[in-house]
Structure 1
């Protein structure tokens, strides 16, 4: 891939009410990336997001702009469009990290483009970017048990053991982002898609 910057957006909902929910695994993944390289998030009210940036070590020194939108999930695209415009980042250099009901917990898939599969964060990104041709790092959370509705399932607080597992999944998603920007899509899919 090229050494122009990438925008890595963790999809989630702002505020402590949503901190330990399945829907916020994208927030956890971008926080993991920031922590790895000693960066911290700053609130950018104009871009409607908390933003950090890191430069990955290595010969190409790829810059990542990390973002956690401060809008709610269904308006994530507002922040993504503003940040991408400010940094002059094209949609093919945008990576969304998000929860995925259709993958079991512990599984991950990386892809370029595709539908939004009922995910309101992706739907908003597609609407505001004018295309769905951005990367997705899909973190499996599985389907709700029994008759529990999907909205309740993704927004319910995780038990401590579940949160620990989700933290591991978020770290693997962060690994996948790093690998993607360094090695490209096919190599990343071969290594991480399961």
Structure 2
């Protein structure tokens, strides 16, 4: 597994532990020779992960919609920067480039991105692992809610079990290498266009 997508906040958060762990993620990706795939921003945890990856000699590839790039929010020193039409194209491009997805602490955008990839995995659009880097218990309540969706019959247990959760980035990456794809939920012919976009 040579490329990892990181979803995280465009703000640094109010606790230095978030920045410290974002820096550790970048350093670890670089040390393991894995390319960082992320949203292309220079601020918040996004910028920290990119900066630490590059400082450690790693590769960082950003994917940013035109509207955000026009506001000069793009990181200026990336290995590559892909400017795409909109947010939907951004997620498709990131999914195409990455072999696994990790959510660091962040807000609604981070959640939207990781949940879409997790949903695509359930539908068989891709077979890549998804993980929550649970820094300082940041995702504890969310994970409790996801277990409830399974207990109440809205999420099949195998999909919750397939989510990788750890407060250690090395552990997450190790589990990625051992990932076993759960049986998909069902075939979804109307989503074949997504698969076609990812195959380009």
TM-score by length of 1: 0.36
- Choose 1 or 2 for highest CA Rg: 2
Q: Which has the higher strand share?
A: 1
TM-score by length of 2: 0.35
Higher RCO (CA 8 Å, separation ≥ 6 residues)? 1
